[in-house]
């Protein structure tokens, strides 16, 4: 049986295209140390020309719309292409911040109190403040990399932010003040806990992608009991949302009120300095070893499908 080629998908059509191109280049370089590898730049909502289900196993680094929302995954399934990471169903679920929170909460991993709405049916500022207070976070339900994130500290800011909402579905959450934590999950098992400390106090798009604006602690400076609780919550959330192979789970830890789920990223940033690689480093996996581990389950599925088709 000939060795399959790893097809790395990067770019895409979402607001996170540039982030994805960086992830794809880094992963393709790392994967090429172990496997035949080809990098595909995705520029449309379709499977790229030259992708062959009999020769390729996909490792996607697409982010956002059509990347991690199940769109590409559904096309790959229809074409019988094996791919690493979460399947189409769990990808669609975790891309929706509300569905993610509800699924995890049903298993005991809760998130902040919220108000969910569409641009056509916006709540009144008074209604939101009465339920959640004035310290708020407003964000789109289906975007990543903090695209569209608003931090709100008073009613006037809320009014202005709501006036700027013209399309899509949104969530307003009570802002939790605490330590922002991120945990990589590999094959259902949590890796190290990473703490994120943005110098601005807000981990927004600028803090994420501008060098020097955020400090990272890997592993986070937590007592073992707390770290174990965070890792367990990550594993529970991963399972509750039907995730497969790997994902990154983000939390806020408040000294006063406990641990709150922020979101699950099924195709997180994948440069060497990204959060999932930092989490893996805590358990002894460097970037090249991690990327190899991420693709292995898909290779196993590829080989099993080959054997089944030949019987």
- CATH number of domain containing 37: 3.40.50.20
Tell me: do 184 and 261 sit in the same domain: yes
- CATH number of domain containing 204: 3.30.470.20
Is residue 213 classed as helix, strand or coil in its secondary structure?
coil
Q: Is 145's pLDDT higher than 60? A: no
Q: What is the CA 57 to chain-centroid distance, rounded?
A: 21
Mean pLDDT computed over every residue of the chain: 93
Q: What is the pLDDT of residues 163-201, one digit of tens each?
A: 999 999 999 999 999 999 999 999 999 999 999 998 866
Q: Which two tokens stand for residue 133?
A: 């207070």
Question: Is 75 domain-assigned?
Answer: yes
Phi, psi at 274, each rounded to 5°: -75, 170
Rounded to an integer, the average pLDDT of 205-211 is 62
Question: How far apart are the C-alpha atoms of 295 and 298, rounded to whole Å?
Answer: 6
Residue 210's pLDDT band (cuts 50, 70, 90): low
Among the listed residues 119, 71, 76, the one whose alpha carbon sits nearest the alpha carbon of residue 95: 71
Q: What is the pLDDT of residues 20-77, one digit of tens each?
A: 999 999 999 999 999 999 999 999 999 999 999 999 999 999 998 899 999 999 999 9
Question: Is 90 domain-assigned?
Answer: no
Tell me: do 149 and 191 sit in the same domain: no
Which of 155, 174, 193 terminates a domain? The answer is: 174
Supply the pTM of this predicted model: 0.92
Q: Is 211's pLDDT higher than 80? A: no
Q: What is the pLDDT of residue 149?
A: 86
Q: Which two tokens stand for residue 14?
A: 């979402």
Question: How far apart are the C-alpha atoms of 34 and 178, rounded to whole Å?
Answer: 40
Q: What is the pLDDT of residue 207?
A: 61
Question: Is 299 domain-assigned?
Answer: yes
Tell me: do 189 and 167 sit in the same domain: no
Question: How far apart are the C-alpha atoms of 205 and 224, rounded to whole Å?
Answer: 31
User: Could you list the residue range(s) of the whole structural domain that residue 299 is in?
Assistant: 5-85+288-310
Total domain count, the chain: 3
Question: Is 245 domain-assigned?
Answer: yes
Tell me: do 161 and 189 sit in the same domain: no
Question: Is 160 domain-assigned?
Answer: yes
Question: Is 182 domain-assigned?
Answer: yes
Q: What is the pLDDT of residue 245?
A: 98
Q: What percent of the chain has pLDDT over 70?
A: 94
Query: Is the distance from CB of 120 to CB of 131 less than 8 angstroms?
Result: no
Question: Is 96 domain-assigned?
Answer: no
């Amino acid at each position: 049986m000939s060795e399959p080629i790893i097809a790395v998908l990067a770019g895409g059509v979402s607001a996170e295209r540039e982030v994805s191109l960086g992830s794809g280049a880094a992963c393709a370089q790392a994967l090429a140390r172990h496997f035949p590898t080809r990098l595909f730049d995705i520029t449309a909502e379709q499977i790229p020309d030259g992708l062959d289900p009999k020769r390729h196993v996909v490792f996607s680094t697409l982010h956002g719309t059509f990347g991690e929302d199940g769109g590409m995954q559904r096309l790959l399934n229809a074409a019988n292409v094996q791919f690493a990471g979460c399947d189409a169903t769990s990808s669609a679920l975790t891309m929706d911040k509300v569905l993610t929170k509800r699924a995890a909460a049903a298993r005991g991993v809760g998130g902040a109190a919220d108000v969910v709405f569409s641009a056509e049916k916006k709540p009144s500022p008074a209604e939101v403040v009465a339920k959640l207070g004035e310290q708020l976070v407003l964000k789109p339900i289906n975007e990543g990399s903090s695209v569209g994130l608003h931090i709100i500290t008073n009613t006037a800011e809320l009014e202005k932010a709501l006036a700027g909402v013209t399309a899509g579905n949104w969530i307003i959450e009570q802002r939790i003040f605490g330590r922002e934590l991120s945990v990589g999950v590999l094959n259902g098992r949590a890796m190290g806990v990473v703490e994120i400390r943005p110098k601005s106090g807000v981990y927004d798009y600028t803090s994420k992608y501008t060098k020097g604006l955020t400090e990272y602690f890997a592993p986070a400076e937590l007592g073992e009991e707390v770290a174990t609780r965070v890792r367990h919550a990550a594993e529970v959330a991963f399972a509750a949302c039907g995730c497969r192979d790997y994902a990154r789970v983000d939390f806020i830890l408040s000294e006063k009120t406990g641990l709150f789920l922020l979101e699950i990223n099924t195709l997180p940033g994948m440069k060497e300095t990204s959060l999932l690689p930092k989490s893996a480093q805590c358990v002894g996996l460097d970037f090249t070893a991690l990327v190899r581990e991420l693709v292995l389950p898909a290779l196993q599925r590829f080989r099993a499908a080959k054997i089944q088709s030949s019987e």
